[in-house]
C-alpha cells in the first residue's frame, strides 16, 4: 500500500531546524519616521527632532566609548581615582545613550546603533589608538562634553519652539545637566594646585 503523502505549504513547514543566515529588506529606512503613536506631533517636527537627536546620540556614544578608552589606558599617580571616575561617567553615559535612542524610536524614527555609523556622524575628534597622558585624556573628554553641551542647548531650544516638550525635558534635565556635572568633575583635575606643600606668598621688594 502506497504511503499517503501529506502536502504542506513550504512556508508553514514545521521543523526543529533553526533557519539560519536570513536576510530581508529593512522594515523602516534610516532617516524616516512612522506613524506609530498619536503623539500630537506633526511628521515634520518628528523628522527634525529625530535627526537632531541622532546627532546628539552619535556624540554621546562617542563620549561613552572615549570614557572606556580612558578608563583602560589611564596612567600615573592618579590612576586609581581616575580609573574609577572614568568608569562612573561611562556608566552614566550608557544610560543617557539609551534614553536618547529610545526617544528617537518613540518619535517614530530610527536610532543610530553601530560603531561605524556613529564614527561617520559624530562631531568629536577621533583620538589615536595608543595611550595618551592624563592631561590630554582630560582635555579630550572636556572637548567632547563641550560639543554635547552646545548641541544639547541648541536642540532643547528648537524642541521648545516646535512644541516637543518631551524632547526638551530629556535634553535639559538628563543630557545637559549630567554633562555639565561630569565636566565639573573632570575640570577640577586640571587645576594646578599644590599636592603636598603650600606655596609661600611672594614678598614684594620695598614692602613695609
Ligand atoms: Fe573596568
The pTM (predicted TM-score) of the whole model is 0.89
What spacing in Å lies between the alpha carbon of 75 and ligand 1's midpoint? 14
pLDDT in tens, 93-132: 999 999 999 999 999 999 999 999 999 999 999 999 999 9
Report the CATH number at residue 182.
1.20.1260.10
Structural domain includes residue 127:
yes
Write the CB contacts of 127 (distance below 8 Å, at least 6 apart in sequence): 66, 69, 140
Structural domain includes residue 9:
no
Structural domain includes residue 21:
no
Contact 64, 97 (CB under 8 A): yes
What spacing in Å lies between the alpha carbon of 102 and ligand 1's midpoint? 26
What spacing in Å lies between the alpha carbon of 83 and ligand 1's midpoint? 8
Res 150: pLDDT: 98
Structural domain includes residue 12:
no
Rg (CA), the chain: 25
What spacing in Å lies between the alpha carbon of 71 and ligand 1's midpoint? 7
What spacing in Å lies between the alpha carbon of 68 and ligand 1's midpoint? 8
Structural domain includes residue 14:
no
What spacing in Å lies between the alpha carbon of 186 and ligand 1's midpoint? 18
Could you give the number of structural domains in the chain?
1
Say which residue the cell 535627526 belongs to.
51
Alpha-carbon distance 47 to 58, whole Å?
A: 17
Alpha-carbon distance 9 to 105, whole Å?
A: 36
What spacing in Å lies between the alpha carbon of 134 and ligand 1's midpoint? 17
Res 208: pLDDT: 47
Res 8: pLDDT: 52
Determine the structural domain holding residue 152 and report its residue range.
Answer: 40-189
Structural domain includes residue 197:
no
Residue 53 burial (10 A CB sphere; 0-12, 13-18, 19+): buried
What spacing in Å lies between the alpha carbon of 136 and ligand 1's midpoint? 20
Structural domain includes residue 23:
no
Positions in the chain whose pLDDT score sits under 50: 1, 208
Tell me which H or E stretch contains 167.
Answer: helix 165-169
Res 202: pLDDT: 81
What spacing in Å lies between the alpha carbon of 67 and ligand 1's midpoint? 11
What spacing in Å lies between the alpha carbon of 87 and ligand 1's midpoint? 7
204 alpha-carbon distance from chain centroid: 52
Structural domain includes residue 87:
yes
Res 1: pLDDT: 47
Amino acid at each position: 500500500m502506497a504511503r499517503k503523502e501529506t502536502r504542506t505549504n513550504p512556508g508553514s513547514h514545521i521543523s526543529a531546524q533553526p533557519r539560519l543566515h536570513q536576510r530581508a529588506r529593512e522594515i523602516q529606512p534610516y532617516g524616516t519616521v512612522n506613524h506609530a503613536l498619536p503623539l500630537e506631533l506633526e511628521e515634520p517636527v518628528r523628522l527634525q527632532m529625530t535627526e537632531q537627536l541622532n546627532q546628539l546620540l552619535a556624540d554621546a556614544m562617542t563620549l561613552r566609548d572615549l570614557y572606556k578608552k580612558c578608563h583602560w589606558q589611564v596612567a600615573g599617580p592618579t590612576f586609581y581615582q581616575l580609573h574609577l571616575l572614568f568608569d562612573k561617567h561611562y556608566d552614566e553615559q550608557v544610560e543617557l545613550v539609551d534614553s536618547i535612542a529610545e526617544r528617537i524610536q518613540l518619535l517614530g524614527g530610527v536610532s543610530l546603533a553601530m560603531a561605524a555609523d556613529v564614527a561617520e556622524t559624530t562631531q568629536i575628534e577621533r583620538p589615536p589608538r595608543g595611550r595618551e597622558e592624563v592631561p590630554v585624556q582630560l582635555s579630550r573628554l572636556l572637548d567632547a562634553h563641550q560639543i554635547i553641551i552646545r548641541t544639547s542647548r541648541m536642540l532643547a531650544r528648537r524642541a521648545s519652539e516646535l512644541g516637543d516638550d518631551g524632547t526638551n525635558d530629556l535634553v535639559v534635565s538628563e543630557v545637559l545637566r549630567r554633562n555639565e556635572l561630569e565636566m565639573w568633575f573632570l575640570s577640577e583635575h586640571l587645576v594646578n594646585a599644590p599636592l603636598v606643600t603650600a606655596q609661600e606668598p611672594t614678598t614684594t621688594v620695598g614692602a613695609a
